[in-house]
Structure 1
Amino acid sequence: MIEHPEPPADTAAAFDTAATLTLASELRVVLGQLIRQVREVGTVGDLTPSQKAVLRRLEVGGPSTMSTLARLEGVRPQSMGATVAVLDAAGLVSGSTDPRDGRKTVLSLTESAVQQFTTGRLAREDWLFHAMQTELTATEQQQLASSIVLLRRLLRAS
């Protein structure tokens, strides 16, 4: 059974249910729009969502075999093979023999892919920095900083 933490002590001053539902809807829409806007800045080439997902898995999880990537992404190994072939042809992934099992190939990001991720990440952070500097007052920036704590708490909710 999942235990839910006690609500904050100031629930008497909390929004009513209808207002909370409206807030949840507006938050979902705004966060979705912000995520799409940030993703448009500094993207890694003209890749499909499945290709981007493989690159993200390799960036976050490190080198992996084709079968592991297929399992994690919920696709057949043949489908993963086609995805990886495109990434390999684009110079974004490379394969090497698995030292524990010479029959397997371990895939990893190439230096080019790592640089593109770094460049894209920096471009997205620069866009956010510039937007906050030009669109928000110092007080609003402080409010945004405070809201990050609340958003993290929402992420922990079950």
Structure 2
Amino acid sequence: MITPQDSSPTPQADSLAREIRALVGKLKRRLREQAAPGDLTPSQVSVLLRLEREGPATTSSLARLEGMRPQSMGAVIAPLEEAGLVSGTPDTKDGRQTILSLTQACRKWVEEGRAARQDWLTRTLQARLSPQEQDKLGEAIALLKRLVDD
């Protein structure tokens, strides 16, 4: 837990924070390169991940969760439907609403993308790090988890 007395960062903590942010950003870019996401916008990717994680939803609920207007969300969803990544069915409780969910094609595409990223990272770890370095990385990951876990 961070207390007020911890508020002035040490030069080492400041340097580590800068390096971690830069490294995580670079790692995310490298992982994204491994599975071609096509021409999806960040908003479209966010909607697909939300539908995968939380299940089917209406356009208005997605808009609320993503912090945008329903009309704007409609513009995000339309290309996803056209690409066959999302499909809609009438809401049985409210016929004016459509329940959106991922298609099987989208689920397969997401799975293949994750597998490609996992494969690249596994091969890269094996090729570039010795078993002892991999052990050290495991220890560093445990420390990083402490930074983000509540």
TM-score norm. by structure 1 comes to 0.87
For residues 23 and 99 of structure 2, what CA distance do their matches in structure 1 show? 39
Contact 1:97 1:103 in 2 (8 A): yes
Contact 1:66 1:106 in 2 (8 A): yes
Deviating beyond 3 angstroms after TM superposition, the runs of 4 or more aligned structure 1 residues are none
Secondary structure in structure 2 of the residue aligned to 1:107:
strand
Equivalent residue number for residue 97 of structure 1? 90
For residues 13 and 75 of structure 2, what CA distance do their matches in structure 1 show? 45
Secondary structure in structure 1 of the residue aligned to 2:93:
coil
For residues 21 and 82 of structure 1, what CA distance do their matches in structure 2 show? 41
Secondary structure in structure 1 of the residue aligned to 2:117:
helix
Contact 1:132 1:141 in 2 (8 A): yes
Unaligned 5+ segments in structure 1 are: 7-15
Secondary structure in structure 1 of the residue aligned to 2:87:
strand
What pairs up with 1:121-140 in 2 under 5 angstroms?
121-140=114-133
What pairs up with 1:6-155 in 2 under 5 angstroms?
17-155=10-148
> Residues 1-20 of structure 1: CA distance to partner in whole angstroms, max 9, x if unpaired?
xxx279xxxxxxxxx91112
Could you tell me how far 1:119 is from its partner in structure 2?
A: 0.1
The residue type paired with residue 140 of structure 2 is S
Could you tell me how far 1:35 is from its partner in structure 2?
A: 1.1
> Residues 86-133 of structure 1: CA distance to partner in whole angstroms, max 9, x if unpaired?
100000000001122222110000011000000000000000001001
Residues matched between the structures, number: 145
Secondary structure in structure 2 of the residue aligned to 1:106:
strand
Unaligned 5+ segments in structure 2 are: 4-8
Select between 111-120 and 41-50 the one with higher mean Cα deviation.
41-50
For residues 124 and 114 of structure 1, what CA distance do their matches in structure 2 show? 16
